């Protein structure tokens, strides 16, 4: 238990108290170091006793996944720093509910509840955020609204409260019913998603918005055929290399009116758009939405390839669930409790959520041709149009959203053991950073971020190679590691800090920030080279590496 942090505790008292009556509940405070006269304060909230609680049924492994785990966090106390991302494994996009549509802390489970102790959503967002510390980028937002006339521009005015008992947050599906009866559901594909909105009234709106759009860094166009398109340049200070994201969306109902909302909206929004539907007889509106880093036309093509004319919301949901079940089925657990299974498979979901694809199929479903808009040079272009990227379009597959210091001891060994073929593709997608920009990113979000110590991709890739993963550019990975260990980088975003001196001193001095950590990480790379000589070289008698 921690002060000012919400904790959920559950106990099966029926096993020891069957047939007995509960007369009182004793709350005890046990602290041998407590001092007399010091106050102890706490809050007991939503206390209840359930007789014969209904047991939840799990028909597949993905049903155990709860994506809101780790969202009891904030900037002052980390308990996961997660947000409930609905996506396909290693997908191009995340789709998430937003309790704060203006912040990198996208979803906070309870901390910003209203006076009735209900969580409120300001929007549903397209996200590419790897963590709140790295920040959001290339985002886009939509929010249902039931105003009869022009909907409100303020996010705090159109915010909708809900109960978590009316929320389902899974890897392949997100659904929530608000207190006013409006329901939103999301089913993902790789580059697209289908939204299903169920309204209550006769006139219903969808409002399109973007995070902190105060300087013309995003735009929405309402097309005459009832579709919408737009772009987003939004990114954090650590999202180096992030290029323009394009959006395209269609609806299964005619748009009866539309317009722009301009002014000073909640969250600093500078420009928003809305479309209105007649929901007198049919309350459901389906939206297909896709993104692209190449062009609006490619975003439109991504919808056509990933959501066919025969697809429904439920078929898209089922396809995403099958993908997750295949990943989660890598490990089957026997003898575990329900809570243990939820913990295990929710953590496996996070394992296979990242890194993320950043490439697109410019060919056909039958004959795919993969290309990507490069986001990995040390500088980016600034001449993108409203419909087409200015970044160089290259052939191949690339992966982003990975910090090697955070993952080389944990997720990368797991990929090599649990999904070796995919591990090779992920590694090759990281070596692509080297082929494009001359370095492998220490922290890719998506490009080169000045964050963390060590060039830990060297260890991750050598370890995977020794475990038998070979379907990647081994020579490129070795060359990148050799460059990390021997070349003074052009700036702080890449390579090893302090190497201009440490390569001769054999330690990183205090003239380099975090010098001790840089030295220790450099030593780990050397030790790994020695122990992995079959992959990296031969040890000379003096202890150096040939």
Using one digit for the tens of pLDDT, what is the confidence trace for 302-349? Answer: 999 999 999 999 999 999 999 999 999 999 899 999 999 999 999 999
Strands 192-198 and 183-188 come out as antiparallel
Residue 409 maps to a domain = yes
Same domain, 304 and 409: no
- Give the H/E segment covering residue 528: helix 515-531
Residue 448 maps to a domain = yes
Same domain, 255 and 400: no
Range with the lowest mean pLDDT among 200-209, 366-375, 379-388?
379-388
Which among 290, 319, 348 is the end of a domain?
319
Same domain, 143 and 250: yes
The tens digit of pLDDT for each residue in 163-195 reads 999 999 999 999 999 999 999 999 999 999 999
Residue 383 maps to a domain = no
Residue 342 maps to a domain = no
Confidence of residue 369 (pLDDT cuts 50, 70, 90): very high
Confidence of residue 213 (pLDDT cuts 50, 70, 90): confident
Task: Tell me whether residue 358 is exposed, middle or buried, using C-beta atoms within 10 angstroms of its C-beta: 0 to 12, 13 to 18, 19 or more.
Answer: buried
Residue 53 maps to a domain = no
- Give the H/E segment covering residue 195: strand 192-198
Range with the lowest mean pLDDT among 45-49, 69-73, 114-118?
45-49
Same domain, 294 and 431: no
Same domain, 129 and 266: yes
User: Which positions ≥6 away from 435 have C-beta within 8 Å?
Assistant: 473, 476
Q: Which domain holds residue 169?
A: 61-319
The pTM score is 0.90
Same domain, 408 and 277: no
Number of domains in the chain: 2
454, 518 in Cβ contact below 8 A? yes
From 288, 291, 270, 146, select the one nearest 206 (Cα to Cα). Answer: 146
Residue 297 maps to a domain = yes
Q: Which residue has the higher pLDDT, 446 or 268?
A: 446
Interval 154-159 mean pLDDT: 92
Q: What are phi and psi of 78, to 5 degrees?
A: -90, 125
Whether residue 112 has pLDDT greater than 90: no
Q: For the chain, what percent of residues have pLDDT higher than 70?
A: 92
Whether residue 43 has pLDDT greater than 90: no
Same domain, 298 and 408: no
Domain with 254 in it: what CATH number?
2.70.98.10
Most confidently predicted of 50-54, 62-66, 214-218 = 62-66
- DSSP code string of 67-125: TTTT-S-BTTB-S------B--TT-S-EEEEES-TTSS----SSTT--TTS-EEE-EEE
Same domain, 130 and 223: yes
Same domain, 417 and 279: no
Same domain, 288 and 401: no
Confidence of residue 537 (pLDDT cuts 50, 70, 90): very low
Interval 275-301 mean pLDDT: 97
Same domain, 309 and 429: no
Residue 8 maps to a domain = no
Domain with 490 in it: what CATH number?
1.20.1050.60
Which among 263, 292, 319 is the end of a domain?
319
Same domain, 292 and 423: no
Which among 270, 287, 319 is the end of a domain?
319
Residue 19 maps to a domain = no
Kindly state the DSSP code that residue 295 receives in the 8-state scheme: B
């Amino acid at each position: 238990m921690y002060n000012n942090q919400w904790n959920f505790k559950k106990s099966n008292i029926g096993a020891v108290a069957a047939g007995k009556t509960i007369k009182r509940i004793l709350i005890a405070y046990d602290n041998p170091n407590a001092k007399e006269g010091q106050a102890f304060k706490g809050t007991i909230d939503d206390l209840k006793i359930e007789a014969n609680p209904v047991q939840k049924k799990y028909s597949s492994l993905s049903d155990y996944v709860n994506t809101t785990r780790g969202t009891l966090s904030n900037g002052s106390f980390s308990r996961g720093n997660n947000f409930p991302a609905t996506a396909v494994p290693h997908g191009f996009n995340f789709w998430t509910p937003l309790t704060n549509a203006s912040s990198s802390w996208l979803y906070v489970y309870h901390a910003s509840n209203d006076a009735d102790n209900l969580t409120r959503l300001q929007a549903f967002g397209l996200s590419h955020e790897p963590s709140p510390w790295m920040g959001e980028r290339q985002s886009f937002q939509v929010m249902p609204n039931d105003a009869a006339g022009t909907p409100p521009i303020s996010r705090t005015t159109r915010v909708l409260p809900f109960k978590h008992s009316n929320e389902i947050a899974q890897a392949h599906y997100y659904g929530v019913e608000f207190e006013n009866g409006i329901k939103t559901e999301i089913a993902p594909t790789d580059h697209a998603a289908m939204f299903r909105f169920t309204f209550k009234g006769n006139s219903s709106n969808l409002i399109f918005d973007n995070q902190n759009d105060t300087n013309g860094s995003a735009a929405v166009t309402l097309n005459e055929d009832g579709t919408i398109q737009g772009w987003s340049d939004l990114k954090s200070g650590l999202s180096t290399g992030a290029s323009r994201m394009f959006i395209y969306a269609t609806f299964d109902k005619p748009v009866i009116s539309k317009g722009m909302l301009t002014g000073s909206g909640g969250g600093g929004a500078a420009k928003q758009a809305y479309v209105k539907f007649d929901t007198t007889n049919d309350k459901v509106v389906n939206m297909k939405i896709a993104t692209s880093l190449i062009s609006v036309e490619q975003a439109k093509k991504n919808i056509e390839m990933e959501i066919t004319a025969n697809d429904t919301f439920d078929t898209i949901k089922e396809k995403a669930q099958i993908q997750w079940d295949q990943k989660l089925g890598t490990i089957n657990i026997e003898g575990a409790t329900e809570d243990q299974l939820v913990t295990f498979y929710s953590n496996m979901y996070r394992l296979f959520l990242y890194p993320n694809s950043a490439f697109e199929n410019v060919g056909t479903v039958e004959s795919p041709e993969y290309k990507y808009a490069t986001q990995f040079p040390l500088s980016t272009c600034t001449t993108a149009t409203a419909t087409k990227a200015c970044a160089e379009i290259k052939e191949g597959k690339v992966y982003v959203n990975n910090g090697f210091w955070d993952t080389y001891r944990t997720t990368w060994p797991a990929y090599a053991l649990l999904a070796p073929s995919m591990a090779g593709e992920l590694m090759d997608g990281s070596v692509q950073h080297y082929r494009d920009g001359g370095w492998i990113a220490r922290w890719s979000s998506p490009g080169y971020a000045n964050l963390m110590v060590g060039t830990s991709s060297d260890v991750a890739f050598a370890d995977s190679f020794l475990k038998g993963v070979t379907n990647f550019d081994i020579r490129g990975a070795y060359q990148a590691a050799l460059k990390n260990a021997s070349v003074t980088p052009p700036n702080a975003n890449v390579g090893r800090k302090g190497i201009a001196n440490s390569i001769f001193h054999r330690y990183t001095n205090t003239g380099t920030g975090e010098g001790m950590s840089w030295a220790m990480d450099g030593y780990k790379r050397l030790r790994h080279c020695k122990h992995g000589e079959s992959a990296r070289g031969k040890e000379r008698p003096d202890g150096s590496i040939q």
